[in-house]
A = this chain, B = another copy of it.
Amino acid sequence: MWTESDNKLTATFKFANFIQAFTFMTEVAFHAEQQGHHPDWSNVYNTVEIRLSTHDAGDIVTDKDRQLAKIIDKVYEKFN
């Protein structure tokens, strides 16, 4: 689901509607804050696109990104 290119991990998540998409974002937001690692993400209606890279490491993909990606996948499972 995640692809790595341009020193970013990127994935797109689809939902039944906006409420589902934003509920997903809310849970991800709590985890991001807990990890002290925040996504670059966009939302349009039922679609959420997430880009992960580590600013402090010079905007490359690090284990912090891979860990957050795993957490996000776990959150997304609920919505399938």
Contact = CB atoms under 8 A, between A and B. Distances in A.
A11 to B, nearest CB: 15
Interface residues of A, number: 24
Contacts of A45: 38
A40 to B, nearest CB: 5
Contact of A32 (B18, B34, B39): B18
A18 B43 contact: no
A70 B41 CA distance: 23
B41 A19 contact: no
A41 B34 CA distance: 22
Interface of A: 18-20, 22-23, 25-27, 29-34, 38-45, 78-79
